[in-house]
Amino acid sequence: MNFFILFFLAVLLSLIYILWQQIKQQKGSHHQHKLDETLDKQLLTMMGGAKQAVLRLLRNARKNYLGKSYLWYHEKVIRDLERDRSY
């Protein structure tokens, strides 16, 4: 009986630790979601100030590449626009 209680406590403590790690990681990743004003302005300039078009491009990038940072999405859209304009 004592074995089951110890086993249950070990599993419970492991789950609490995993949950704590995930919460800590989410708090740390909050900084990834802050927009870089320089890239924001660059994107708007590249798109001739068409904010809705920029938002659509960023939304599509987020849909196609899940789990990346906002900075990554901005850089990806800029790279794609530069690539497309070089043709």
Asked whether residue 54 falls in the same domain as residue 84, the answer is yes
Residue-wise pLDDT tens digits, 34-62? 556 888 899 999 999 999 999 999 999 99
Do 1 and 13 lie in one domain? The reply is: yes
61 and 82 inside one domain: yes
Based on the fold, state whether residues 50 and 86 are members of the same structural domain. Answer: yes
Whether 40 and 75 map to the same domain: the answer is yes
Distance CA 75, CA 58 (A): 10
Cα distance between residue 87 and residue 83, in whole Å: 7
Question: Whole-prediction pTM value?
Answer: 0.57
Q: Does residue 41 share a domain with residue 82?
A: yes
Range of the domain at 14: 1-31
pLDDT tens digits for range 23-32: 877 665 544 4
Residue 41 sits in the same domain as residue 20: no
pLDDT at 39: 87
Classify residue 73 as exposed, middle or buried by CB count within 10 Å of its CB (0-12, 13-18, 19+). buried
In contact, 71 and 39? CB cutoff 8 Å: yes
